[in-house]
Chain A
């Protein structure tokens, strides 16, 4: 076990965990931010997507020891009041079925919109390819991203 300082959603967290612990499990088990989900553990499903220094990253494959000085944003910190345009658009398009993958989907989409504020369908399909929705809400996800752009 070792001590690490993490900057998550604008707050400093001191954690004592083994150095190889993936960020995912530090967020969930140690800090108690459970919005970031476990789906595969090998960066294939996107359920654990967070932002590290603004870039979308699969937190299941990011050891805590590699995060010194980095800024981490999770779904809980994407907006102050749950009012990020994507969070509102997701509700307007009534995207979720089971809802489990959606935090990861929103984090991937938020990173896309930062890079490309008005993506085409094809841009969306490429950017969202790393996120699996087992319920098949893909068309509504695409619709919600377009809605968020329109504002």
Chain B
């Protein structure tokens, strides 16, 4: 799919002219809110005056001294787009990366496409338009130089921020051309670089915010401080309950508490510091009343197991005659796999700054889909979207939690009622108990084998909480097996659920890849050879729709097997293969377990990834490693349970996250095939837990079918 090309992004836009003026504006401690902020600078390299800058288009500003500012359109949650997206623009602009500064763009749907951090899509969907943005600006600079020299533009070349006319031995820096170039009409057709000429893409450039991060500069939503700003915390009802009464006498008596505000079923305390509003909130005496059924994990688990016994009316996919295949099978393999709720636990808990004024609204903070937040706030306040400005701070993690604008709306509502700029802060307890979990879910898998150990039938039936679809019906092993059935059940709940890094796949992959191993072993086949056999079926005799590129997928499995010495493993080494296609990228992982003092220990994960062109290798490697450690950590330890509508875990003393000594080493390999790049924020997470489970089975004969694995007390 080719993304739509928003040509307006590349035009000189008169309303953009203020961009340079905002360079001096610091979003973390500005005294007054700007009326039309469209840019923020987080790490200015040196002082340049606003009149020095010219806007070439919505992405590129160039100063008289040749400094280049590239706007980073998408929210940064740790996935690295604030570095990698500007790199793509800089490549086609043909400038030296050391002269580039990066600014986080504010929400502007006229100038930028899809300002979203989600679905691992920023690089994939931005690839073409970011390249065109850089190439368009470069062409305007060339044409400006050509006009000055009275030569044809096609005779001019560029290198590192300079235009050359070799025939007349002339050259001129972008900085001297920028003012005139910025007044030009943007070309509609531009020539993009041949990838073999890339000088920035494909080379490692460290996280652009590193200098600010390691010195503790304000970067995150939680760091926002404004003159006149008040702090706020809120209490939210447990699942299934509503507000009955509030006694705020004691809360109001706390020094520094200015106001207690009831809004809907929530109660906010507003005051002069985070600590004082927390004390005020703790002093509230609140009575809840039951509004709906109070749910518990135990009864939900039982209900899901019941659903797994029942066929669905409309399968998500059916090939051949699965009923017949299972009846006639020489052998049937069957298993149930289960996972619990998981909170996202971004290390920076939810927070947001809002200032609702008579004449407009300023929203500022960590949010993955600013456009959604603006729409929801406009609707809630019954004002036009054009009256709302939205800026994004760097985020202390997203993992899907910050896709949702609930906390943005809370901040706006409290600001409106308090008639003041406020920063809303959630505590860790609020964050862990406030819902929006990775849904708990369960799968029944069945495989039918013929007398030669060929998989002739495959059946997956999922049941998940608030999950419209628990399966990925067109993904592997669909198309590789003649008789196939995928079914899904939804168990509705008032416990709120959400996208969580690699939705659905984050557990489905682990379960499916573990089950595929069970089937391979039942068929007395090597787990890698078995997978390759299925890929060959899908290549040579595909059944129905093929939802994945079989050859690319197969290649990653072969690469991971080769690099992990699958066929030549050392003594006391146990390997587990797991491979999954998600978010347009192909990933195969092999976990390496060794037995130490009689118990298995995960020491390394080998990872083969096909995400096409790797834009920024150091960033890509960080994502691969982080995704795997995240996948292993949550499979090992993550478990949130609900009892009578309340989460039973509330902080890191009773909810375990993976720590340094438990993280495996990761050895990674990228398939170099020149394909257009796809995302990496999510795809390496899904296969990780399956690889671990398969290696542990090899080492111990114990099959871990339920997360968290730590409950099995197998791993040392």
Contacts and interface: CB of A to CB of B under 8 A. Distances in A.
Contacts of B220: 37, 100
A25 B273 CA distance: 8
Contacts of A41: 427-428, 651
B225 A32 contact: yes
Contacts of B157: none
A54 interface: no
A91 to B, nearest CB: 5
Contacts of A39: 347-349, 428
B651 A40 contact: yes
A98 B216 contact: no
B78 interface: yes
Contacts of B612: none
Interface string A125-138: 11011011111111
B171 interface: no
B211 interface: yes
A124 B660 contact: yes
B394 interface: yes
Given A18-B255, A103-B216, A96 B660 contact: no
A74 B77 contact: no
B622 A29 contact: no
B652 A136 contact: no
Interface string B4-47: 00000000000000000000000011000000000000000000
B584 interface: no
Interface centre among B29, B215, B653, B663 (most CB of A within 10 A): B215
A17 interface: yes
B428 A137 contact: no
Contacts of B80: 97
Contacts of B660: 124-125, 128-129, 131, 133, 138, 141-142
B216 A18 contact: no
Interface in A30-86: 30, 32-42, 44-45, 47, 74-76, 82, 86
Interface string A82-117: 100011001100111111111100100000000000
Interface residues of B, number: 66
B275 A99 contact: no
A77 B109 CA distance: 40
A94 B77 contact: no
B623 interface: yes
B414 interface: no
Given A29-B273, A90-B210, A126-B661, A99 B651 contact: no
B214 A25 contact: no
Given A98-B347, A101-B347, A136-B626, A21 B210 contact: no
Contacts of A30: 273
Interface stretch (B195-203, B376-384, B525-533, B628-636): B628-636
Nearest to A82: B215
Interface secondary structure of B, over-half rule: loop
A13 interface: no
B633 A136 contact: yes
B210 A91 contact: yes
Contact of A40 (B225, B619, B627, B652): B652
Interface centre among A1, A28, A34, A141 (most CB of B within 10 A): A34
Contacts of A97: 78-80, 207, 622-623, 626
Contacts of B279: 18, 20
B148 to A, nearest CB: 40
A24 B262 CA distance: 28
A38 B217 contact: no
A138 to B, nearest CB: 4
Given A35-B216, A94-B622, A136-B626, A44 B204 contact: no
B213 interface: yes
A147 to B, nearest CB: 13
Interface centre among B213, B219, B223 (most CB of A within 10 A): B213
B335 interface: no
B625 A136 contact: yes
Given A18-B256, A132-B347, A138 B653 contact: no
B396 interface: yes
Nearest to B627: A136
Nearest to B204: A94
B206 interface: yes
3 A-B pairs with the lowest CB-CB distances in the bound complex, closest first: A35-B216, A98-B78, A100-B396
